[in-house]
Chain A
Amino acid sequence: MTGMADLPIWAALLVAFLVLLGAVLTLIGVLGLLRLRSFYERVHAPTLGTTFGAGSILAASMIFFSMLETRLVLHEILIAVFITITTPVTLMLLARAALYRDRAEGAEFVPLHQEADPGSAGGDHSGRK
């Protein structure tokens, strides 16, 4: 990290700000994962980290390395694209599995078979009685 001193002050500030922002957002997401009560609530919290959290850190990385190597560094866009595409897959699979498990165990707060589709995860998943 020898070239760090060569960074102009405005860029350094910007990078620092973005990195911190991303880290804080991710931290909030993690706290949410820890604090929220039901699975269906918790599943949302980490997305803070995978969207804006990751986004700002990637942006910071783009600026940092572009300044350092005096050329446009855009690898991070690829990372962002893949995170955006793959995260929902995790969400869908997890939510579906949780839903079935709760139903099988007869948990109270799970929507029952009122619709045609047995696994309407998109419905009122947070509906607790």
Chain B
Amino acid sequence: MNGDVLLILIVVLPFVGSVLAATFRPNARNSEAWLAGGVALACLILAAIAYPAIVEHGAIRSESEWLPTLGLNFTLRMDGFAWLFSVLVSGFGFLVVLYARYYMSPHDPVPRFFAFLLAFMGAMLGMVISGNLVLLVIFWELTSIFSFLLIGYWHHNAGARDGARMALTITGIGGLGLLVGVLLIGHIVGSYDLDRVLAAGDQIREHDLYVPALILILLGTLTKSAQFPFHFWLPNAMAAPTPVSAYLHSATMVKAGVFLMARLWPVLSGTPEWFWIVGFAGMASLLVGAFFAIFQHDLKGLLAYSTISHLGLITMLLSLGSPLGAVAAIFHMINHATFKASLFMAAGIIDHETGTRDMRRLGGLFRYMPITATLAMVASAAMAGVPLLNGFLSKEMFFAEAIETHAKSVLDTSAPYVAVLASAFAVTYSLRFIHTVFFGPKPTGLERQPHEPPFWMRFPIQFLVLACLVVGTIPALTVGPFLHTAVISVLGPNTPFYSLAVWHGFTLPLLMSAVALVAGVVLYLLLNGYLNRSEAGPPFIRRLQAQRIFERVLVVLSWKWARSIEARLGTRRLQPQLRLLVVAAFIAALLPISLDDLSLTSLRISEIDAVFVLIWVSGICCAVSAAYQAKYHRLAALILLGGAGLSTCITFAWFSAPDLALTQLLVEIVTTVLLLLGLRWLPKRIEEEGPKTVSLGTRFRRVRDFGIAVAAGGGVGVLAFVAMTSPVPLETVASYYLEKAYVEGGGKNVVNVILVDFRGFDTLGEVSVLAVVALTVFALLRRFRPAADSIAVPDQQRMQNDFDEAEPDRKVGDTIADYLLVPAVIMQWAFPVIIVLATYLFLRGHDLPGGGFVAGIAMAAAFILQYMAAGTRWVEERLRILPVSWIGLGLLLAALTGMGAWLFGYPFLTTYSQYVELPTVGATPLATALLFDLGVLGIVVGATVLMLIALAHQSTRGLRSARVATEAEQEEA
């Protein structure tokens, strides 16, 4: 298979699978597992196919253009190291899927689980085989997001929500740092391409920006790998379902950090800064993680801290800057993934069978589940570094490296002691895990009798434990070649000689291992009694929890400081906001123009048409009075606003823009009506009592606001004047459109052709915005509670209803029905007429004034009339208007029409026009733009009607609340 296709398939398959998985039935555990397992297996097989080529050529690449102008290509690149991780990610993915099939309860909504899991796998695979640093960061962030969703899978559980949020916050901050760091690297090297970056190690290390770039990148990797001081999110992420923990916190998510450090190792390592930062973080995590792990009561908590510790070990190995250290680090990545995943799965089985993960309550499980217990014992022995298991091998390499002096310093000198101490701790917690869970007295107070899990649930553990054993006994024959391929791809020509043998003779590392083993056992014997009685957490510093500190920082940052900044700088009042906006716009417009550039040509009076001036004078009067009345008489202001709009409309007609005039007229009508309907829900104006005294401050404010208004309005006026009086160049955009509209767009109405053809993409964007606005209005109004003084039924309705109730032979609503009879009939009859008008406007749109937008508004007006004539209830009993469907179908149609052009090899939204011979009508010009326009129509109708419905339902809800209020009053009386 072609390398290109193969790499793209590896990345794309999981995402496709994720989308598919999301569509299954909620309880389709089996089919979900088949799908997810199949996808994971397919990725694994693809990786296996790629292996010979990688061994032969070093790396396979696939490059396709993405944003070539920014130097960003969608580059995938798989070398030995990326291959190793691809195998880990897809292989473990397969095992986890198998495990999850039995772990997830039939009540859990599995499509969400498997969809997120597959998407996470895709992101992870994309991350490891990206050949471009920016692409890598994007996949990196995707892993953060999907891990957030996976950790928070049981979102009804507060712990899961908090843990997920914390993981996202920490890794998200790190991701941001990583992005900036990568951009700096890109700046130094001049390319984001991984190959070029890896070849530019000296250049990067000598650059002035090396330290900032290093710190930022390390911020990303250390947060991701849960290294001290960012380690605390990992134990909190244990609220995730156990398959997620087994996957994310053994082989994938947390390995991403160390993966990237190893990936960039040849470029970044070897400097004192690298050694100190990475070394300190690694050593601290190694020790702190191991120490804390001893004192956990939660099985998964223990494993989580142990993960932190083991990742710290890897980080420390990487910090040394010696090639052998890097080899050991890569080897330990594999080993840790193997035993930790199996331990997480075992913990999940124990939890599943007994209903608890608290080690104080567990015990003696060996007699119930001997096989699982044996497997867990082997795996934790590997974790503790017992000989003949894989953990032992990498730990020995670690010890060997720790003894070596790399850079003379406190850190380096203390390394061997810290290493032994941490290993002793590892032995202690491994022993505790085994001893408290599987031995000792029988557990008491369990909800059910534990027993062995189904074979296939145990299978992943068996497989992994077997791997631990085999790798531990015959490493050179099993993992050796693959490890070598990976190491070569990271270290290149610097690859040192290393030996994967179990037995190296009596060496210092062996002695250290022995000391650690003995010390660990002794420590456990000493601590055993204390541990079973104590609270969770290490002694003395139990209260000092990084998690609490994090929460406190979060509260201070996102609540206290944010609130105080908001209180000082923000405002909820509209006036200051508008003032700021206008002033900012004014300054923004003023800055680029020095006033000299504005050549104000004086108009000759003879050129002015008196009638036109009159229209504008009345328009201006209307606008100014509307502004003036807006506070005192909203209805009058609204009517005056309509007057101003009308004069604009006449202006358009005057200057031969019938299209604009038509649109303006209809928009004016519909907005006025909608505003009128909304007006009813505004609170009453606060009447000032007593004599009117205007304070100095108020007077100043008014004068200032008036000044701002005049300056901004005048400024726009001057700009418009200059724009309109300056000479027009011969070749303008307009002449281009006029020339090409019919030839290329197939329409005589240039405005419409521009909208649906030349600038169709803009239109698509605009109508999408319209749809979003409509949905927002609907969402806002759905929860809107009107002001107290506008809830009551209007006087007129109240009087009518009182009258109806007082008369014995009438029922409520009769009067209104009586006097609305004639208007209602006329408005109802207008319905089909307006629909015909809308159709007419729509169909003539391409050649004459009209089009989808205008037609849509006209059609919406027809619906509005129905609501006004007969009320919400009556209309909705008879007409099924589905505005959201209108919007959706409209968007779909517009987008599909645009995509249709692809079928014929043209770019998005290319239109096609043709004369078609229709029966009885004759030759008719038809353009695909008409379909696009139909989409526009749908969106406009849907959006307008949706807003209308939001307002109309307000009215029915308001009535109900008013009725409830009056009933309550009556009961009291």
Which residues of A does B touch, CB under 8 Å? 85-86, 88-89, 92-93, 96-97, 100-101, 103-104, 116-119, 121
List chain A residues, Cβ under 8 A from B818. 117
Those 7 A-B pairs whose CB atoms lie nearest each other, nearest first: A100-B796, A89-B823, A118-B803, A104-B795, A89-B826, A96-B819, A92-B823
B807 proximal to A (CB < 8 A): yes
Q: State in angstroms the CA–CA spacing of A116 and B803 once bound together.
A: 9
Q: Determine if A118 and B822 form an interchain contact, defined as CB atoms under 8 angstroms apart.
A: no
Q: State whether A100 and B815 are in contact (beta carbons under 8 Å apart), knowing that A89-B826, A93-B823 are contacts in the complex.
A: no
CA distance A96 to B819 in the complex (A): 8
B959-973 contact mask (Cβ, 8 Å, vs A): 1 or 0: 000000000000000
A-B pairs with beta carbons under 8 Å apart, 9 shown: A89-B822, A89-B823, A89-B826, A89-B827, A100-B796, A101-B796, A104-B796, A117-B818, A118-B803
Cross-chain contact B795 with A86 (CB below 8 angstroms): no
Q: How far is the CA of A119 from the CA of B826 in the complex (A)?
A: 20
* Nearest-CB residue, chain B, relative to A96: B819
Chain A residues in 8 Å Cβ range of B795 = 100-101, 104
Smallest Cβ distance from A32 to chain B, in angstroms?
Answer: 19
Q: Which residues of B contact A97 (CB under 8 A)?
A: 796
Min Cβ gap A96→B in Å is 6
SS of A interface (majority): helix
The verdict on B799 contacting chain A, using a C-beta distance below 8 Å, is yes
With A96-B819, A117-B818 as known contacts, state yes or no: A86 contacts B826, CB within 8 Å.
yes
A31–B823 alpha-carbon span in the complex (Å): 27
Q: Are B799 and A104 in contact (CB under 8 A)?
A: yes
Query: Are B826 and A118 interface neighbours, CB within 8 A?
Result: no
On chain A, the residues within 8 Å of B803 by CB distance are 118
Contacts of B800 in A (CB 8 A): 100, 118-119
Chain A residues near B822 (CB, 8 Å)? 88-89, 92
Known pairs A96-B819, A100-B795, A103-B799 / 19 extra A-B pairs, C-beta < 8 Å? A89-B822, A89-B823, A89-B826, A89-B827, A92-B819, A92-B822, A92-B823, A100-B796, A100-B799, A101-B796, A104-B795, A104-B796, A104-B799, A116-B807, A117-B815, A118-B800, A118-B803, A118-B815, A121-B819
> CB-CB < 8 A to B796: which residues of A?
97, 100-101, 104
C-alpha gap A119/B801 in the complex (Å): 12
Residues of chain A with a CB closer than 8 A to B827's CB: 89
Residues of B within 8 A of A93 (CB): 823
Interface residues of B, Cβ cutoff 8 Å to A: 795-796, 799-800, 803, 807, 815, 818-819, 822-823, 826-827, 830
Query: Which residue on chain A has the smallest CB distance to residue B795?
Result: A104
> In the complex, what distance in Å separates the CA atom of A121 from the CA atom of B815?
12
Q: Nearest residue in B to A99 (C-beta to C-beta)? A: B796
* Residues of the B chain whose Cβ atoms lie less than 8 Å from the Cβ of A119: 800, 815, 819
- The closest CB in chain B to the CB of A118 belongs to B803
Contacting residues, chain A, for B799 (C-beta < 8 A)? 100, 103-104, 118
**Residue of A whose beta carbon sits closest to that of B829:** A85
Please measure, in the bound complex, the distance between the C-alpha atom of A66 and the C-alpha atom of B830, giving whole angstroms.
28
- Chain A CB count within 10 A is highest, among B796, B807, B818, for B796
- A72 vs B24: C-alpha distance when bound (angstroms): 65
Distance to closest chain B CB from A87 (angstroms): 10
B827 — nearest CB in chain A belongs to which residue?
A89
Interface centre among A86, A119, A121 (most CB of B within 10 A): A119
Minimum C-beta distance from A94 to chain B (A): 11
> Chain B's nearest CB lies how many Å from the CB of A23?
12
In whole Å, how far is B271's beta carbon from the nearest beta carbon of chain A? 83
Q: Given the complex, which residues of B lie within 8 Å of A85, measured CB to CB? A: 826
Distance, CA A93 to CA B822, complexed state (A): 10
CB proximity of A102 to chain B, nearest CB, Å: 11
A86: chain B residues within 8 A (beta carbon): 826, 830
Tell me the complex Cα distance, A118–B804, Å: 9
Q: Compute how far the CA of A88 lies from the CA of B807 in the bound complex, rounded to whole angstroms.
A: 29
Provide the residues of chain B in CB contact with A116, threshold 8 Å: 807
Taken together as a complex, chains A and B put the C-alpha atoms of A86 and B869 apart, in Å, by 13
Within the complex, what minimum Cβ distance (angstroms) separates A80 from chain B?
Answer: 14
Contacts of B830 in A (CB 8 A): 86
CA distance A120 to B826 in the complex (A): 20
By a CB distance below 8 angstroms, the chain B residues around A118 are: 799-800, 803, 815
* Complex Cα spacing A86 to B827, Å: 8
A7 vs B800: C-alpha distance in the bound complex, in angstroms? 57
Q: How far is the CB of B276 from chain A (nearest CB, A)?
A: 81
Q: What separation, in Å, do the CA atoms of A119 and B796 have in the docked complex?
A: 10
For residue B858, give the distance in angstroms from its CB to the closest CB of chain A. 13
Separation of A119 and B827 alpha carbons in the complex (Å): 21
Distance of A104 Cα from B800 Cα, bound (Å):
11
Residues of B within 8 A of A88 (CB): 822, 826
**Cβ distance B126 to chain A, nearest Cβ, rounded Å:** 62
A101: chain B residues within 8 A (beta carbon)? 795-796
- Give the complex CA separation of A103 and B803 in angstroms: 13
Q: Which residue of B lies closest to A91 (CB)?
A: B823
A113 to chain B, nearest CB (A): 8
Within the assembled complex, what's the spacing in Å between the Cα atoms of A116 and B818? 13
Q: For A96, what are the chain B residues with a Cβ–Cβ distance below 8 Å?
A: 819
Bound state CA distance, A41 and B818, in angstroms? 24
Instruction: Compute how far the CA of A119 lies from the CA of B803 in the bound complex, rounded to whole angstroms.
Output: 10
Alpha-carbon gap, A86 to B833, bound state (A): 13
Which residues on A sit within 8 Å (CB–CB) of B823?
89, 92-93
Query: Smallest CB–CB gap between A46 and chain B, Å?
Result: 14
- With the chains together, A118 CA to B818 CA distance in Å? 11
A117 CA / B814 CA spacing, docked (Å) = 10
Q: Which chain B residues lie closer than 8 Å to A117 at the CB level? A: 815, 818
The minimal Cβ–Cβ distance linking B757 to chain A, given in whole angstroms, is: 29
Point out the residues of chain B lying under 8 angstroms from A103, CB to CB: 799
Q: Which of B815, B822, B823, B827 has the most CB of A within 10 A?
A: B823
Bound CA span A85–B823, Å = 9
Q: How far is the CB of A39 from chain B (nearest CB, A)?
A: 15
Q: How far is the CA of A103 from the CA of B823 in the complex (A)?
A: 22
**Whole-angstrom distance between the Cβ of B501 and the nearest chain A Cβ:** 98
- Give chain A nearest CB distance to B640 CB in angstroms: 16
Residues of chain B lying within 8 A (CB to CB) of residue A89: 822-823, 826-827
Distance in angstroms from A78 CB to nearest chain B CB is 10
B615 vs chain A, min Cβ distance (A):
15
Q: Select from chain A the residue with minimum beta-carbon distance to B800.
A: A118
Residue of B whose beta carbon sits closest to that of A103: B799
CB distance from B630 to the nearest CB of A (A): 22
Cα distance, A119 to B815, chains bound together (Å): 8
What's the least CB distance linking A98 to chain B, in Å? 10
A-side contacts of B826, CB under 8 Å: 85-86, 88-89
A92 to B818, CA, bound (A): 12
CA A85 to CA B800, docked complex, whole Å: 26
Q: How far is A86 from B823 in the complex, measured between Cα atoms in Å?
A: 8
> In chain A, what residue has the closest Cβ to B796?
A100
Most-contacted residue by chain A among B800, B815, B819, B826 (CB, 10 A): B819
Docked Cα-Cα span, A117 to B803, in Å, equals: 8
Cα distance A97–B794 in the bound complex, in angstroms: 11
- A116–B807 Cα distance when bound, in Å, is 9
For the complex, what is the distance from the CA of A88 to the CA of B815, rounded to whole Å? 19
Chain A residues with Cβ under 8 A from B815's Cβ?
117-119
CB distance from B587 to the nearest CB of A (A): 44
Q: How far is the CA of A88 from the CA of B823 in the complex (A)?
A: 8
Quote the shortest CB–CB distance from B39 to chain A (angstroms): 63
Contact residues in B for A121 (Cβ distance below 8 Å): 819
CB distance from A27 to the nearest CB of B (A): 14
Complex formed: what's the CA distance from A97 to B676 in Å? Answer: 15
Closest to A104 in B: B795
How far, in whole Å, are A92 and B830 apart by their CA atoms in the complex? 17
CA distance A92 to B799 in the complex (A): 18
- Nearest Cβ distance between residue A104 and chain B, in whole angstroms? 5
Cβ contacts under 8 Å, B807 to chain A: 116
In the complex, which residue of chain B has the Cβ closest to the Cβ of A89? B823
In the bound complex, how far is the Cα of B796 from the Cα of A121, in angstroms? Answer: 14
- Whole-angstrom CA separation of A92 from B819 in the bound complex: 8
Docked CA distance A97–B823 (Å): 14
Give complex CA distance A30, B803 in Å. 36
With a CB–CB cut-off of 8 A, which chain B residues contact A104?
795-796, 799
